[in-house]
Chains A and B, each alone.
Chain A
Amino acid sequence: MTNASLNHDTNTQTDSTGYNFAYLDEQTKRMIRRCLLKAVAVPGYQVPFGGREMPLPYGWGTGGMQVTATVIGRDDVLKVIDQGADDTTNAVSIRRFFARTAGIATTESTREASIIQTRHRIPETPLSHGQVLVYQVPIPDPLRFIEPRETETRKMHALQEYGVMHVKLYEDISRFGHIATTYAYPVKVNGHYVMDPSPIPKFDNPKMHGNPALQLFGAGREKRVYAIPPFTRVESLDFEDHPFEIQGWDRTCEFCGSDHSFLDEVVTDDEGGRIFICSDTDYCNQRLETGASQEAV
């Protein structure tokens, strides 16, 4: 294949596909690694990078995939989730992409994974030091919906001109009585940059704070990467009299009975029937297994 010629480092070549290990060529990976290093050094700051076209559509995780392709090595074990689940179609598709182009081991277990690529969730199982969580990001700038111009938002970040953000949250309170942002809820990282946590539910925001894992964010179409190093301060924006709060359910998971995980609502009939189940499938399965063993004892 023609593509074999692009391999700069023959050691990393996978023979089966003709593409370089994890698809991206080594020069590109080096470029992205440099950007990631900068991102880790300046937590929450959006670093522009020379994003490449990936063989999957923009908006479908190309940023996260470029980050994963850049940090992954032969010994890594990869988990890919979408909406918390390992078996949603796009998660399946991305996991297969890396199994094919990098020949690495994959898993559905949060504990076993060394790299977890995610869309819209942080796993319920606490992450540990040494793990890397890679987020897929659609719109990296939390100010974008207030000020669409990049030229403006860049200045606002540099000057920490975040008043508009609080005004937006205040307007919600005056109109609805609550802050009406339920996902992609803005956070302040290490006391400086206001950052978009990607469209995770605000339920997951507290998990970002002081997390022992390295959190990397990739926005392919917008060509930005950013990062939260392990054990970094991450605060959700709020007011003294309207403190940040996460959503809760007065129901429990239909399968494992969990009363503390994020629940997905499933419509069971056309007469208003609903059940609620854990969005994190691995967490739910683990609880079922341990629950079953406890019952057996």
Chain B
Amino acid sequence: MYVAVKGGEQAIDQAHSWLDETRRGDTSLPELSVAQIRDQMGLAVDRVMAEGSLYDPELAALALKQASGDAIEAIFLLRAYRTTLPRFLASLPMETNSMAIRRRISAAYKDLPGGQVLGPTYDYTHRLLDFTLLANGERASSLPSTQSSTQSSDETVEDCPRVLDFLNSEGLIESPLVDSNHLQPGESAEPEAPADLTRQPLDYPAGRDLRLQALARGDEGFLLALAYSTQRGYGRNHPFAGEIRQGEVAVEIAPEELGFAVIVGDIQVSECDMINQFIGTETEAPRFTRGYGLAFGNSERKTLAMALVDRALRARELGEDVVSPAQDEEFVLAHCDNLDSSGFVSHLKLPHYVDFQSELVLLRRLRKEFQERKSDRQEVKQT
């Protein structure tokens, strides 16, 4: 008669084989290859790499395939794999000035050294469904192939100056090395080795290094909503998109036994430098402040949101009142990871019979006592 909790083992096995079947879908249609996903679902792959904290387009594509396209499930697969990988050493700080630019725009200046490069963007597309794609027709490109514009890694890449460096040289913006440890001018500009969020538990107050790490792997949707809330007045910080750039950057390591740096590969990144509300004090001339965003791949929306939230989280350091969710370090950092949040929300699917039964026992007792009191009162009235 009572079978509900029995047979969990077979149920799990059956669920898994049904899942495999569902994931594959109609077998009369050709199966998607991982290479196809990697190349034609690039933005999904980039999001999985960014929030999965692992730069590996092939494995990210595999994760997407295995997860039936569910980004968070794919991110989970990649993270669970990443956590088993050995760490050889930390790379040198990445030099995004020498990025092989695919896209580079500034909303602060009309023209500037290095130029405005629109790159492959959806920005100015009209959002009309393209029925040619539906008809399975390749759209013939009227432009000559732009593939060659991405410089191959063998060529020397000319440095592209940063918009914020122009401002910095005039003293109009804080120096990039200002951090939450309040580096005084003249103090050693050599930053300490950054903390590692994936090895140590998060501790508050968190340094900017930890905050940026948490935001870089944080959920795009969550950060986007928080960033939007700052624009609508919940911790407004008057942003200008100083510069958004996207392209390939070399990753360098300097093993101790070698004594010099070697390039181990190039990775695609998106970067956003935000110019924010200026501050000034009795002793210091007013100047703009910064917010920063960086993510693997073409993750422009994510980096914009990250830069806004980064700036919002600097509220205390910059002497602003912490009044809004986006400025609240504990609120943002404790809730921005989508594996934390999706895991804990979905754990409600697990059995809670025992706790529920405990509540039932109490509730029935409280209701019984309520009825008894009620009938007592009625008796008192009648007498």
Query: Of B37-45, B78-86, B89-97, B159-167, which binds chain A?
Result: B78-86
B360 contacts the other chain (Cβ, under 8 Å)? yes
B353 contacts the other chain (Cβ, under 8 Å)? yes
Is B6 a contact partner of A201 (Cβ separation < 8 A)? no
Is B354 a contact partner of A201 (Cβ separation < 8 A)? yes
Within the complex, the shortest CB–CB distance from B304 to chain A, in Å, comes to 27
A210 contacts the other chain (Cβ, under 8 Å)? no
Contacts A55-B80, A182-B361; is A60 near B202 (CB within 8 Å)?
Answer: no
Pick from B7, B84, B355: contact of A182, CB under 8 Å: B355
Pick from A19, A51, A54, A201: contact of B357, CB under 8 Å: A201
- Write out the residue numbers on chain A whose beta carbons fall within 8 Å of the beta carbon of B381: none
Is A50 a contact partner of B354 (Cβ separation < 8 A)? no
Q: Mark B341-355, 1 if CB is under 8 A from A, else 0.
A: 011111100111111
- The complex places the Cα of A177 from the Cα of B363 at a distance, in Å, of 12
- Write out the residue numbers on chain A whose beta carbons fall within 8 Å of the beta carbon of B365: 178
Q: Mark A1-18, 1 if CB is under 8 A from B, else 0.
A: 011011000000000000
Is B354 a contact partner of A89 (Cβ separation < 8 A)? no
Pick from A85, A221, A268: contact of B340, CB under 8 Å: A221
B140 contacts the other chain (Cβ, under 8 Å)? no
Q: In the complex, which residues 275-294 of chain A have their Cβ closer than 8 Å to any Cβ of chain B?
A: 275, 277, 279
Query: Of A68-76, A127-135, A235-243, A258-266, which binds chain B?
Result: A258-266
Residue of B nearest to A199 (CB): B355
Interface size (A, Cβ < 8 Å)?
Answer: 66
Is A19 a contact partner of B84 (Cβ separation < 8 A)? yes
B201 contacts the other chain (Cβ, under 8 Å)? yes
B362 contacts the other chain (Cβ, under 8 Å)? yes
- Write out the residue numbers on chain A whose beta carbons fall within 8 Å of the beta carbon of B76: 57
Within the complex, the shortest CB–CB distance from A264 to chain B, in Å, comes to 5
Best-surrounded residue of B2, B198, B369 (most CB of chain A within 10 A): B2
Contacts A48-B201, A89-B11, A150-B330; is A59 near B346 (CB within 8 Å)?
Answer: yes
Residue of B nearest to A31 (CB): B199
Q: Mark B362-382, 1 if CB is under 8 A from A, else 0.
A: 100110010000000000000
- Write out the residue numbers on chain B whose beta carbons fall within 8 Å of the beta carbon of A180: 362, 366
A43 contacts the other chain (Cβ, under 8 Å)? no
A120 contacts the other chain (Cβ, under 8 Å)? yes
Within the complex, the shortest CB–CB distance from A224 to chain B, in Å, comes to 8
Q: In the complex, which residues 106-137 of chain A have their Cβ closer than 8 Å to any Cβ of chain B?
A: 119-121
Q: In the complex, which residues 10-29 of chain B have their Cβ closer than 8 Å to any Cβ of chain A?
A: 11-12
Best-surrounded residue of A19, A184, A221 (most CB of chain B within 10 A): A221
Residue of A nearest to B346 (CB): A57
Is A49 a contact partner of B201 (Cβ separation < 8 A)? yes
B339 contacts the other chain (Cβ, under 8 Å)? yes
- Write out the residue numbers on chain A whose beta carbons fall within 8 Å of the beta carbon of B347: 57-60, 138
Within the complex, the shortest CB–CB distance from B45 to chain A, in Å, comes to 20
Q: In the complex, which residues 41-92 of chain B have their Cβ closer than 8 Å to any Cβ of chain A?
A: 76, 79-80, 82-86
- The complex places the Cα of A148 from the Cα of B85 at a distance, in Å, of 34
- The complex places the Cα of A119 from the Cα of B355 at a distance, in Å, of 11
Contacts A48-B203, A89-B12, A151-B330; is A275 near B2 (CB within 8 Å)?
Answer: yes
- The complex places the Cα of A83 from the Cα of B358 at a distance, in Å, of 12
Contacts A53-B80, A202-B358, A264-B353; is A58 near B8 (CB within 8 Å)?
Answer: no
Residue of B nearest to A179 (CB): B362
Is B357 a contact partner of A87 (Cβ separation < 8 A)? no
Best-surrounded residue of B199, B343, B346, B350 (most CB of chain A within 10 A): B350
Pick from B8, B200, B361: contact of A88, CB under 8 Å: B8
- Write out the residue numbers on chain A whose beta carbons fall within 8 Å of the beta carbon of B5: 85, 87-88
Pick from B11, B343, B355: contact of A120, CB under 8 Å: B355
B1 contacts the other chain (Cβ, under 8 Å)? yes
Is A92 a contact partner of B84 (Cβ separation < 8 A)? no
- Write out the residue numbers on chain B whose beta carbons fall within 8 Å of the beta carbon of A52: 83, 198
B154 contacts the other chain (Cβ, under 8 Å)? no
Within the complex, the shortest CB–CB distance from A17 to chain B, in Å, comes to 11
- The complex places the Cα of A83 from the Cα of B349 at a distance, in Å, of 13
- Write out the residue numbers on chain B whose beta carbons fall within 8 Å of the beta carbon of A119: 350
Is A183 a contact partner of B355 (Cβ separation < 8 A)? yes
Within the complex, the shortest CB–CB distance from A52 to chain B, in Å, comes to 5
- The complex places the Cα of A224 from the Cα of B199 at a distance, in Å, of 13
A196 contacts the other chain (Cβ, under 8 Å)? no
Q: In the complex, which residues 166-182 of chain A have their Cβ closer than 8 Å to any Cβ of chain B?
A: 176-178, 180, 182
Is A149 a contact partner of B339 (Cβ separation < 8 A)? no
Pick from B12, B203, B355: contact of A92, CB under 8 Å: B12
- The complex places the Cα of A84 from the Cα of B354 at a distance, in Å, of 8
B317 contacts the other chain (Cβ, under 8 Å)? no
- Write out the residue numbers on chain A whose beta carbons fall within 8 Å of the beta carbon of B85: 2-3, 6
* Known contacts A6-B86, A58-B340, A221-B340; 18 further A-B pairs (Cβ under 8 A): A48-B201, A57-B342, A59-B345, A87-B5, A87-B8, A88-B351, A89-B8, A90-B351, A92-B12, A120-B355, A150-B334, A151-B205, A182-B355, A182-B358, A202-B358, A221-B344, A247-B361, A266-B2
Selected A-B contacts with CB under 8 Å, 20 pairs:
A6-B84, A53-B79, A53-B339, A59-B345, A59-B346, A82-B351, A83-B353, A87-B7, A88-B351, A90-B351, A96-B9, A120-B354, A120-B355, A148-B330, A178-B362, A223-B201, A223-B202, A262-B357, A263-B357, A279-B353
Complex A-B, nearest 4 residue pairs according to Cβ-Cβ distance, in ascending order:
A58-B343, A59-B347, A182-B358, A57-B343
